[in-house]
Amino acid sequence: MDLTELLSWACIVFTVGMFSTGLTDLKKMRESKSADNIQFLPFLTTCLNNLGWLFYGTLKRDHTIVVVNVIGALLQTLYIIMYFFYTKQKRLVMLQTLAAAAVLICGWLYFTTFLTEGEARLNQLGLSCSVVTISMYLSPLTDLVAIVRSGNVQVLSFPLTVATFFTSTSWVLYGLQLNDYYIMVPNTPGIFTSLIRFYLFWKFAPTSQSSPSYKPLHI
């Protein structure tokens, strides 16, 4: 097994493990018969991100990206369906889902109709996916600022932070191995945010902590 294949398997295992953390919220919904205190938008945005990277992996003919994001999209779809089943705000969830579908269709039409095949399409798609992934990695920074001010890390999961660190690191190394900056650059913030969380755990963590609700990860 060469280095590229080893990194490929690391990316698949760690990332699928990340996506599977949503099963915790799924269990909560089934047990309580309610979607209260569980956020819907992370499921929806992660699903869109998975589909974007799936298109990129298909154009690039990279089986690692394809496999990870097929599994991710299927899991996020499951979470979305179950959330819709248990939520009391079905109208809002439906409108948000339709809006996301409209964005997806518009994006698909743009990349398949207005862009010629080849490097131009691949580069623009890679850039678009990278921007979305970076924004999703950086979005929890406001929560981290609040944690610094309160000194309460109960809302963070140490196992999830460890997994995020290894997932981001594996994708950065995989991107370096392939010389693909669209894979490497957007996953770099995940390493830094994980290191910030490690520091917060070291400084503020109590002797016991509860498990938080699900927060998704992207390629």
- Could you tell me if residue 107 is inside a domain? yes
- Could you tell me if residue 78 is inside a domain? yes
- Could you tell me if residue 55 is inside a domain? yes
pLDDT of residue 209: 44
- Could you tell me if residue 215 is inside a domain? no
- Tokens read off for 75: 């899991």
Mean pLDDT of 22-46: 88
pLDDT of residue 185: 95
H or E segment to which residue 175 belongs: helix 158-178
For residue 184, the enclosing domain spans 3-205
d(CA 23, CA 50): 17
Q: Convert the pLDDT of each residue in 115-125 to its tens digit.
A: 877 788 899 99
* Closest CA relative to residue 40, chosen from 93, 102, 77: 93
- Could you tell me if residue 8 is inside a domain? yes
Segment among 2-6, 29-33, 97-101, 213-217 with least mean pLDDT: 213-217
Residue 212 clears pLDDT 60, i.e. is over it? no
Task: Name the domain count of the chain.
Answer: 1
pLDDT of residue 206: 65
* Closest CA relative to residue 162, chosen from 6, 41, 21: 21
pLDDT of residue 210: 46
Q: Convert the pLDDT of each residue in 96-154 to its tens digit.
A: 999 999 999 999 999 888 887 778 889 999 999 999 999 888 877 777 887 788 877 77
- Could you tell me if residue 217 is inside a domain? no
- Could you tell me if residue 28 is inside a domain? yes
- Could you tell me if residue 211 is inside a domain? no
